[in-house]
Every structure is written in structure tokens, then in C-alpha cells.
Amino acid sequence: MPERWRVQPGTKVKLDDIDPASTAGAPGGKDRTLAALPPLQEELAGLQDRLAAERRQSLLLVLQALDAGGKDGTIHHVFSGVNPQGVRVVSFKVPVGAELEHDFLWRVHRVTPAAGEIGIFNRSHYEDVLVVRVHSLVPESVWRPRYDQIVQFERMLTENGVAILKFFLHISREEQRERLLAFALRRQLEEAFLVVHPEHLVMVLAYLAELLLLQVQYLQHHLVPYQMDNLGQVLLALDLWLCQQMPHSLVVMRRQEVFH
């Protein structure tokens, strides 16, 4: 890993000072980088075998990113060559049930990797500081001590043989906007073509062409960076806006799923 990407303990990071388009450390462009993956995946698989055979320590990878930042794609590409029996991917949602009856780190600790395993957190316990603070879900007297509690928790893990690697996948707002648009269009395509019959194809294509123009217009004029931190909210706002803008007949057809 290039030293420029490594955050030293006690230092602060300003994302505005880091170019999200930088390819420092990569063997070249996208094609050359993808071509370089197989031997690295083979090496990773060999290291995983040694980790599992030794069964004395474990590896925990923590992935954080903005929505559409590439966490799922990173997991798919990097770990496609390892033995799935020794890897566990965990995504943390809003706490429910028994999770609410315990301390905020209880659900995290119970899914940390055992000796010989690789654990991957797709989002993590840092959400229990960030989200609750930004949305004022708990008072400061609750979230403020969590910073030290997280530090102590991770220190306890490392002292017991868990190596922790943390990655923040940094993309620009422009790249995020393009990915969100692609996600929205793909979802609309899936919804339309799952229910369409061949005789309705012309109508569906006309519908999708109009939908594309409307979505481009919406994303260009209605979304600003601070509104784009939650993909679900973006898509919901997009759907509501489309219902107001699209011809009534197409809205009715979409909502009642009459393509059958």
C-alpha cells in the first residue's frame, strides 16, 4: 500500500486534500489493474490457507464509504478467490430486538472473526457514533463516550490476536452522482422488464426514454451533495418527483403493474 494512503495514528485526514481520481500504486489503467488481480487473489488465497491452518489469529477488514462508494464491489473483486468457508461479511443495519437491549458494541463483538477467519464489515460500529450524532438520535452524553469505548474495544481485539485494517473508499461527489443515477435507472429497468410482455415493448421503451430524461433532469437540478448521503432517501425522493412529472397514464401503468 502506498504510504500516502496510510493514516498514521494521531494524525488527521482532510478528504478535500486527497484526489479521489488518483491511481497511485495501481499498475496502470482499469484494464491493467483488473489483469493484475488474479495473481494477487491467488496469493491472498494462499495466505488465507496459512491463517486457517495456524488458527492463532484473525483478520478484520472494516470498509466505510459514502453511498455508492464501492464497498460491495470491493468485496466481490478482492475476495472472489478466497475460500468462502473462512470468510464472513457482515452489514450493520439499524439495531433491532436484542441489539437494543445491549450496549452498542454487543452486536459487533459477537460477529468478529474467530481465530483463523477473515471478517469483513460492510459499514461498521462507527455508524453508532456518526449516525446517532448527525440525526440527534441520542444525547451527547451517550454518543460522546462511545469514541473512547471504540478505541478500547479495538485495542482489546488487537491484543487478542485480531488484526484490524480499516479502509475508507473515497469517491468524488460527481462520481457518486453518476453511480446513483445508474443505480436508479437499473432499478427502473428491472421493474419494467420483469413484468413486460413482447407486445408492450414499444410502450415500455417510450416510457423508459422519458424516465431517463426526467431522472437526468432531477439529478442535475434537485440533488446537492449534502442531500446524497442516503441512497434510499434519494430513490424515494426521485420516485415521488417522477409521479408528479410523468404523464398520468404512465404513472398509473407503473404503479398498478398492468404490464401483464
Please indicate, yes or no, whether residues 77 and 16 belong to a single structural domain of this protein.
yes
Tell me whether residue 4 is exposed, middle or buried, using C-beta atoms within 10 angstroms of its C-beta: 0 to 12, 13 to 18, 19 or more: exposed
Please indicate, yes or no, whether residues 177 and 155 belong to a single structural domain of this protein.
no
Please indicate, yes or no, whether residues 154 and 36 belong to a single structural domain of this protein.
yes
- Provide the CB-side half-sphere exposure for 41 (13 A, CA): 16
Residue 122 φ then ψ, to 5°: -90, 95
Distances (CA, A) of 29 to 34, 36, 140: 9, 11, 46
**Which residues partner with 163 through β-bridges?**
59
For 141-190, what is each residue's pLDDT tens digit? 999 999 999 999 999 999 999 999 999 888 888 888 778 777 776 666 55
Of 169, 185, 204, which residue constitutes the final position of a domain? 169
State the residue range of the domain holding 141: 3-169
Of 127, 154, 169, which residue constitutes the final position of a domain? 169
Q: What is the mean pLDDT of each run of 10 residues along the chain (260 residues)?
A: 72 83 81 88 94 96 86 87 93 88 95 97 89 84 93 96 92 81 67 53 56 56 46 52 46 37
